[in-house]
Structure 1
Amino acid sequence: MDLDIVKQRMQKILEMLRSDLATVRTGRAAPSLIEGIVINAYGGTQKLRLMELATIAASDPQTLVITPFDQSIIGEIQKGIQEANVGLSPVIDGELVRITIPHLSEERRQELIHLMRQKLENGKIMVRQVRHEAMAEIKKQKAQKIISEDEVSRLEKEVQKVTDEMITDIDLVGEKKEEELLSI
């Protein structure tokens, strides 16, 4: 039973959760809100993520500025963002696309918090599944007499400790994101 593999799997879940939560809109302009949007570029011949087609920057807390690498696709970028249904309205401004991030209503904030909590709970379930698989492997090795009773006890405690740490980390990520959502 390799604890490093268990830790790595749980860490990947945490990182996936962090990147997933980065796309939840907080009312502040952040490039992560739109960088993954897929754009049908060059007449629909290529599907590329926005971050592959342009630089994305927050010019102020409420505005994202998109600067396409190729000016000929500026209209396709605008259309792709509109079609992504992310609640944003891109406006072409010369060689740039500007997006003003609207303030979130209290109702929308509560919806986003609910969505975020669901994602956090799914992350915790995935961590617990990794723990369950690790515990099953420990029991299997015990049954095959690969490891001793003392080793079983030590490994189970270690797996539980790592699980508890990851659950705590997930809770902290959630608390931080909830603070962002509630701050106006």
Structure 2
Amino acid sequence: MQDVLDNCKKRMKKAIQSLEKEFSKLRTGRASITLLEDLKVDYYGTLTPLNQLASISTPDSRTLAIQPWDRNAFGEIEKAIMKSDLGLNPVNDGKIIRINIPPLTEERRKELVKVAKKYAEDAKIAIRNVRRDANETLKKMKNDKELTEDEMHRGQEEVQKITDSFVQKVEEVFNKKEKEIMEI
């Protein structure tokens, strides 16, 4: 039974980590290199992550600087940024690509909170699916006579406690992100 509970916790932690990764890509009013980390650039016919073609830095809180290692990559990097749904405009001076992060409008902030809420809801669904799997495993163990009825119920109660704590953690992570997005 302990293995079932440990597996349950491990899978729920992954759901939280996935949520935090999604949140790191959501744009707030500040410059963050995570915005561009997963951006794919068509580099000589191959879709390549931007962080493998250039160094990305934040010289100040409102600017991203991209320094490609290959001069031939400038145009493709600019195209990839323009095509992305981030709403950013790159400025190329021949040595470095700069992106000024404009302050978010009230309307855009509310849209981003809706997106964050959807990510949080998806994480809760993933956590509930883990709970269902764990409960089914416990029932199967009872049917296979590996657990008694009481042990199964105790296990299910423990799974529910774990689920509740992870759902609470999703709420905390969401509330923190919402506050960050709405901050001016």
TM-score range, shorter chain: over 0.9
Partner residue of 2:35 out of 30, 33, 53: 33
Partner residue of 2:8 out of 6, 9, 13: 6
CA positional deviation for 1:81: 0.8
1:158 equivalent in structure 2: 158
CA positional deviation for 1:94: 3.0
1:82 equivalent in structure 2: 82
**In 1, distance between residues paired with 2:6 and 2:66?**
41
CA positional deviation for 1:71: 2.1
Partner residue of 2:22 out of 20, 30, 35: 20
**In 2, distance between residues paired with 1:169 and 1:89?**
35
User: Which structure 1 residue ranges, 5 or more long, are not aligned?
Assistant: none
CA positional deviation for 1:85: 2.8
**In 2, distance between residues paired with 1:80 and 1:29?**
18
1:50-105 alpha-carbon deviations (Å, 9 max, x no partner): 11111111111110001112222112111111112310001112311100011111
**In 2, distance between residues paired with 1:25 and 1:165?**
27
Moved more, 128-137 or 140-149: 140-149
Tell me the amino acid that sits aligned with residue 19 of structure 1: K
Tell me the amino acid that sits aligned with residue 166 of structure 1: F
**In 2, distance between residues paired with 1:164 and 1:176?**
18
Instruction: Flag as ranges the 4+ runs of structure 1 deviating above 4 A.
Output: none
User: Which structure 2 residue ranges, 5 or more long, are not aligned?
Assistant: none
1:119-150 alpha-carbon deviations (Å, 9 max, x no partner): 10111011001101111111111122111123
CA positional deviation for 1:35: 1.2
**In 2, distance between residues paired with 1:102 and 1:37?**
19
**In 2, distance between residues paired with 1:118 and 1:83?**
23
1:130 equivalent in structure 2: 130
Match of 1:66, SS state, is strand
**In 2, distance between residues paired with 1:181 and 1:52?**
28
**In 2, distance between residues paired with 1:102 and 1:134?**
46
CA RMSD of aligned residues (A): 1.1
Tell me the amino acid that sits aligned with residue 40 of structure 1: D
Moved more, 21-30 or 67-76: 67-76
**Sequence identity percentage:** 42
Q: Where do 1:92-171 residues align within 5 Å?
A: 92-171=92-171
CA positional deviation for 1:153: 2.3
Match of 1:34, SS state, is helix
**In 2, distance between residues paired with 1:135 and 1:72?**
55
